[in-house]
C-alpha cells in the first residue's frame, strides 16, 4: 500500500490521504524555513534598548544588518513555500475545501509580498535612516531622528498587516486540514490556534507598535508553530514507514 491511497467510487477518484512526496517536500521547507527564521530573529538580530535612541544606536552599529534581514526573508519564503506545497499535498479537487486551498494559496502569496516589503523597509530603509542619524552633526540630529521615526512607523504598519495575513493564511490551511482529515486533525487545530495568535499580534503591533505587550503572543506563536511543524514531521515519517515495510516484504 502506497502513502497516497486512492479509491474509485462511481468513476470518481478520491484521495483520502495526502501525497507523501509533496508532504515530505513541504515538511522540509517548513522545518528549514522556521529554523532560519528563529536564527535570524532571535540569535543574529541586534537587540533593542531601553529607549528608541538606544535601540537605533544598536541598529546603526550593526554591520550584518542587511544580511540578517535577507536571511529572514529567505526563511519566510521557505516557510510559505512549504505551506503552499502542503496545500497541493492535500490534493483537494472538489467541494468547499477546494476553495479553501485556492484562497489559502492566494493569502500565502500576499503574505510573502508583505514580508518582502517589511524586510525592505526594515533591512534597507531603516538601516539607512539610523546610519544617517548616527552620523549627523548635532544641528541635524533632530531632523534625522524624525526621519528614523517615520520609517519605524511605516515598519509597524507593514508588520501589522503582514501578521494579519499570516494569521489568515494559517487559518485557511488549518481549516482545510481539519475538513479533509488527510493528515491528522490536531495539526490543523494547533495551526489554527497559532493563526489566531498571529491576528492578535497584528492588532497589537498596529495599535501599540513594538512593545512588551507583544512578548506573550510571540512566545505563543513560537511554541504553537514549533509544535505543529514537529507533529507534521513525525506524521510524515510515520506515513512513510508502512509503505517501506510493504515494499520490503513484497
Q: Does 246 reside within a domain?
A: no
- Residue 3's pLDDT is what? 37
Residue 47 lies in a domain: yes
Residue 6 lies in a domain: no
Residue 241: which pLDDT band, with cuts at 50, 70 and 90?
low
In terms of Cα–Cα distance, which of 155, 133, 162 is closest to 209? Answer: 155
SS3 at position 203: helix
Whole-angstrom distance, CA of residue 201 vs CA of residue 65: 24
| Residues in CB range of 176: below 8 A, 6 or more apart | 87, 90, 92, 97, 100, 101, 104, 188
DSSP H or E segment with residue 154: helix 141-180
pLDDT score of 143: 95
Higher pLDDT, 33 or 3: 33
Contacts of 62 (CB under 8 A, 6+ apart): 46, 68, 127
CB 112 within 8 A of CB 77: yes
Tell me, yes or no, whether 249 lies in a domain: no
pTM of the model: 0.88
Domain of 218?
16-238
Label residue 240 by pLDDT band (50, 70, 90): low
- The verdict on residue 244 lying in a domain is no
| CB contact at 8 A, 180 and 189 | no
pLDDT tens, residue by residue, 79-97: 999 999 999 999 888 788 8
Q: Looking at the domain assignment, is residue 248 inside a domain?
A: no
Query: Which residues, listed in sequence order, are joined to residue 39 by a DSSP beta bridge?
Result: none
Helix (H) or strand (E) holding 7: strand 7-9
Answer for the pair 221, 5: CB distance below 8 angstroms, yes or no. Answer: no
Domain count, the chain: 1
- Per the domain annotation, does 250 fall within a domain? no
Residue 212 burial (C-beta neighbours within 10 Å; 0-12, 13-18, 19+): exposed
Taking the C-alpha atoms of residue 109 and residue 98, their distance in angstroms, rounded to an integer, is 17
Q: According to the model, what pLDDT value does residue 243 have?
A: 44
CA atoms within 13 A on the CB side of 31: 12
Task: Establish if 245 belongs to a structural domain.
Answer: no
Measured in Å, how far apart are the chain's first and last C-alpha atoms? 10
Amino acid at each position: 500500500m502506497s502513502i497516497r491511497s486512492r479509491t474509485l467510487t462511481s468513476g470518481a477518484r478520491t484521495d483520502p490521504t495526502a501525497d507523501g512526496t509533496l508532504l515530505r517536500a513541504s515538511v522540509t521547507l517548513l522545518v528549514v524555513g522556521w529554523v532560519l527564521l528563529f536564527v535570524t530573529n532571535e540569535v543574529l538580530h541586534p537587540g533593542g534598548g531601553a529607549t528608541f535612541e538606544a535601540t537605533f544606536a544598536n541598529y546603526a552599529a550593526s554591520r550584518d544588518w542587511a544580511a540578517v534581514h535577507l536571511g529572514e526573508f529567505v526563511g519566510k519564503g521557505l516557510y510559505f513555500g512549504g505551506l503552499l506545497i502542503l496545500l497541493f499535498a492535500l490534493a483537494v479537487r472538489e467541494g468547499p475545501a477546494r476553495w479553501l486551498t485556492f484562497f489559502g494559496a492566494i493569502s500565502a502569496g500576499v503574505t510573502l509580498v508583505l514580508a518582502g516589503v517589511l524586510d525592505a523597509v526594515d533591512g534597507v530603509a531603516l538601516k539607512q535612516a539610523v546610519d544617517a542619524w548616527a552620523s549627523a552633526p548635532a544641528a541635524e540630529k533632530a531632523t534625522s531622528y524624525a526621519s528614523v521615526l517615520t520609517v519605524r512607523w511605516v515598519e509597524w504598519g507593514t508588520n501589522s498587516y503582514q501578521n494579519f495575513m499570516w494569521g489568515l493564511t494559517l487559518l485557511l490551511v488549518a481549516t482545510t486540514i481539519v475538513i479533509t482529515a488527510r493528515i491528522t486533525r490536531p495539526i490543523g487545530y494547533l495551526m489554527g490556534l497559532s493563526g489566531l495568535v498571529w491576528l492578535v499580534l497584528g492588532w497589537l503591533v498596529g495599535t501599540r507598535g513594538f512593545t512588551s505587550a507583544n512578548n506573550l503572543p510571540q512566545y505563543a506563536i513560537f511554541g504553537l508553530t514549533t509544535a505543529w511543524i514537529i507533529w507534521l514531521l513525525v506524521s510524515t515519517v510515520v506515513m512513510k514507514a508502512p509503505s517501506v515495510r510493504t515494499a520490503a516484504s513484497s
